[in-house]
Amino acid sequence: MNTQRVALFMPSMRGGGAERVMLNLTYGLVERDVRVDLVLAQKDGTYLSRLPESVRVVDLRAKRVLTSIPALRRYLVQERPPTLLAAVAHTNLAALAARRLAQVPTRIVIGIHNTFSVASQGAAMKRSRALPYVARWLYPYADGIVAVSHGVADDLAQTVRLDRNRIEVVYNPVVTPELYQQAGEPFSHPWFNDEAVPVLLGVGRLSAQKNFPLLIRAVAKVREQRPVRLVILGEGDDRAALEALVHDLGLSDDVALPGFVDNPFAYMRHAQLFVLSSDWEGLPTVLIEALACGCPVVSTDCPSGPMEILDGGTYGMLVPMRDEDALAKAILASLDEPVRGELLQQRINEFTLDYATEQYTKVLHI
């Protein structure tokens, strides 16, 4: 029996792509009899209730990730986990700083889920603009570095001035048996009962990164040629602005923002088309999930991930970023001639939980 231990460090378990990836990874590790500590800056989030029973949740009781460093240092001194995997930019920095303060032999493996250069320059993320400079100081001390796509790895190496050979690429553990089970569950939304009008789907945090205004404006253009409806699942600071845009474009009866839902996969299974309109990503989990659910996809060719996932357009159309005309044309073309479901299923093997967990066990020395 495997008696290895590992700690996973996250800000919280609120709904999001990185959180869902960590949730899936806990299942993959537990199935291999690995003892898992889930260390959270703040014990909060909808995914907490879905963790495996054997996962031990450690609450650092901090308001922010960077203010959790003293508590994380205490955890490392007291528990001395052989390896700690941090999953997002601020947890990476906090973990490396805490290990230096704790003076313990714990291996720190850092994970990069977004295109570092773009994410650190976002107007809505002013605190993040110092990240490249701090990362250049701390990241070389990491014992392992994992990027979720080759594009993310290349960008990180250039932005933080790291040797590219130090960065390993492990695709996210996205496709799980639970995904297929949830995709088959019933859900209630009247638009999906009307086969005469196609339903488009967007999923993600309502934030500048996801550029849902682009999608909404593209839908307005599509509706000039044929009826469609749009459902955007997710919550975030941009809700009011998105609702105002929907109203201004006269789309209030045809665009819905139901908020965050626990099971987006049932929606993906029944939507006619999934659309990713982001300005930047790392490896967009929702794109892989849509493919697994058999939903045709259209995506902006943003840095980075969509190009890799869709293999240059083989498994779904790619369009230039921030081009509503191109996005509208791709939506129309994909509705007319969707990619076959059998072809979509061929793409997802590298994104299965079993494959990704196997790669992580090597990086984590389990």
Q: State the pTM of this model.
A: 0.82
- Domain count for the chain: 2
Q: Are residues 159 and 196 in the same domain?
A: no
Three-state secondary-structure class, residue 74: helix
Q: Which two tokens stand for residue 184?
A: 């088959």
pLDDT at 342: 85
Cα–Cα distance measured from residue 315 to residue 309, given in angstroms and rounded to the nearest whole number:
8
Considering the domain boundaries, does residue 139 fall inside one?
A: yes
Contact 21, 29 (CB under 8 A): no
**Distance from the Cα of residue 30 to its chain's centroid:** 21
Q: Are residues 182 and 145 in the same domain?
A: no
Contact 335, 278 (CB under 8 A): no
pLDDT in tens, 275-295: 999 999 988 989 999 999 999
Contacts of 2 (CB under 8 A, 6+ apart): 32, 33, 34, 366
Last residue of a domain, one of 169, 190, 216: 169
Contact 365, 107 (CB under 8 A): yes
pLDDT at 227 over 70: yes
Last residue of a domain, one of 169, 188, 212: 169
Query: Could you tell me the pLDDT band of residue 118, with boundaries at 50, 70 and 90?
Result: confident
- The whole domain housing 191 covers 177-349
Question: Which residue matches tokens 């081009």?
Answer: 323
Considering the domain boundaries, does residue 360 fall inside one?
A: no
Q: Which two tokens stand for residue 307?
A: 């190009």
Q: Are residues 12 and 150 in the same domain?
A: yes
Question: Which residue matches tokens 């906090």?
Answer: 94
Which residue would you say has higher pLDDT here, 172 or 99?
99
Cα–Cα distance measured from residue 142 to residue 161, given in angstroms and rounded to the nearest whole number:
14
Q: Are residues 344 and 195 in the same domain?
A: yes
Could you tell me whether strands 229-233 and 5-10 are parallel, antiparallel, or unpaired per DSSP bridges? unpaired
Query: Could you tell me the pLDDT band of residue 1, with boundaries at 50, 70 and 90?
Result: very low
Considering the domain boundaries, does residue 211 fall inside one?
A: yes
Nearest alpha carbon to residue 128 among 92, 102, 84: 92
Considering the domain boundaries, does residue 356 fall inside one?
A: no
The residue-averaged pLDDT of 162-177 equals: 95
pLDDT in tens, 48-76: 999 999 999 999 999 999 999 999 999 99
Q: Are residues 111 and 154 in the same domain?
A: yes
- Mean pLDDT score across all residues of the chain: 94
pLDDT at 354 over 60: yes
37 DSSP β-pair partners: 7, 56
* Cα Rg of the chain (Å, integer): 20
DSSP output for 327-350: HHHHHHHHHHSPPPHHHHHHGGGG
pLDDT at 133: 85
Contact 61, 86 (CB under 8 A): no
pLDDT at 271: 98
Q: Are residues 96 and 223 in the same domain?
A: no
Please, how many CA atoms are within 13 Å of residue 333, restricted to the half-sphere of its CB?
A: 13
Contact 276, 202 (CB under 8 A): yes
Considering the domain boundaries, does residue 206 fall inside one?
A: yes
Nearest 5°: the CA angle 20, 24, 30 is 145
pLDDT at 124: 45
Q: Are residues 58 and 191 in the same domain?
A: no
Considering the domain boundaries, does residue 334 fall inside one?
A: yes
Considering the domain boundaries, does residue 366 fall inside one?
A: no
Could you tell me whether strands 144-147 and 167-169 are parallel, antiparallel, or unpaired per DSSP bridges? parallel
Query: Could you tell me the pLDDT band of residue 350, with boundaries at 50, 70 and 90?
Result: confident
Considering the domain boundaries, does residue 107 fall inside one?
A: yes
Neighbours of 197 (CB within 10 A): 12
Q: Are residues 163 and 29 in the same domain?
A: yes
pLDDT at 120: 65
Q: Are residues 124 and 186 in the same domain?
A: no
Q: Are residues 138 and 215 in the same domain?
A: no
Question: Which residue matches tokens 């593209």?
Answer: 218
Three-state secondary-structure class, residue 229: strand
Cα–Cα distance measured from residue 206 to residue 364, given in angstroms and rounded to the nearest whole number:
33
pLDDT at 344: 87
pLDDT at 315 over 90: yes
Could you tell me whether strands 167-169 and 199-203 are parallel, antiparallel, or unpaired per DSSP bridges? unpaired
Q: Which two tokens stand for residue 193?
A: 């009962």
Order the strands of the 229-233 sheet from edge to edge.
255-259, 229-233, 199-203, 273-276, 297-300, 317-319
Query: Could you tell me the pLDDT band of residue 163, with boundaries at 50, 70 and 90?
Result: very high
> What CATH number does residue 134 fall under?
3.40.50.2000
Q: Are residues 136 and 238 in the same domain?
A: no
DSSP output for 21-41: HHHHHHHHHHHTT-EEEEEES
Cα–Cα distance measured from residue 209 to residue 355, given in angstroms and rounded to the nearest whole number:
29
Contact 43, 57 (CB under 8 A): yes
Last residue of a domain, one of 118, 136, 169: 169
The residue-averaged pLDDT of 240-263 equals: 98
**Distance from the Cα of residue 1 to its chain's centroid:** 32
pLDDT at 126 over 70: no
Q: Are residues 243 and 155 in the same domain?
A: no
Query: Could you tell me the pLDDT band of residue 128, with boundaries at 50, 70 and 90?
Result: low
Q: Which two tokens stand for residue 63?
A: 């308001």
